[in-house]
Amino acid sequence: MAPWLTPDRLHGIRSVILGLTLFVGLLVWVSFSVGLVPQGTHLVTKLRAVGIMTWLYAIVQILDIKVLHSRFVQRRRTVSRIPEVLEGWLLGQMIAWFGIAYYGLTDDASWFAAGLGLLLVSFAAFPVRRET
């Protein structure tokens, strides 16, 4: 693990991840609320397919990190030197940010809300510990 990734800094990183996710989601909401973005549903079917694949990837990776501890996860963590907690949060953030992109293109906030929920679950599943 990188020496600068102390448990105290991980708390700050988690706050930044959540803050940026909420801020960008708010920007999309304001853009649609004031009419800056024209509404349209082009590419919705393709986006949903990408969304399902993204959710499956993230869920499998989170379960692998938290429960299975496969050799692929161990090798990736050795190479990246990212703490397990940060990796779990980033997978949760990936889903929330896909939701933001989907929301920005379709004016449907449901994928963002679900992604934000998974991000918060990742915060609970990967708490900051002193031995991190």
pLDDT tens for the chain, residues 1 to 132: 677 778 888 989 999 999 999 999 999 888 888 877 666 556 687 888 899 999 999 999 999 998 988 888 888 888 888 888 999 999 999 999 999 999 988 888 999 999 999 999 999 999 988 764
Task: Please state, in angstroms and rounded to a whole number, the distance separating the CA atoms of residues 82 and 27.
Answer: 30
Predicted pLDDT of residue 132: 45
Torsional sign, CA 94, 95, 97, 98: positive
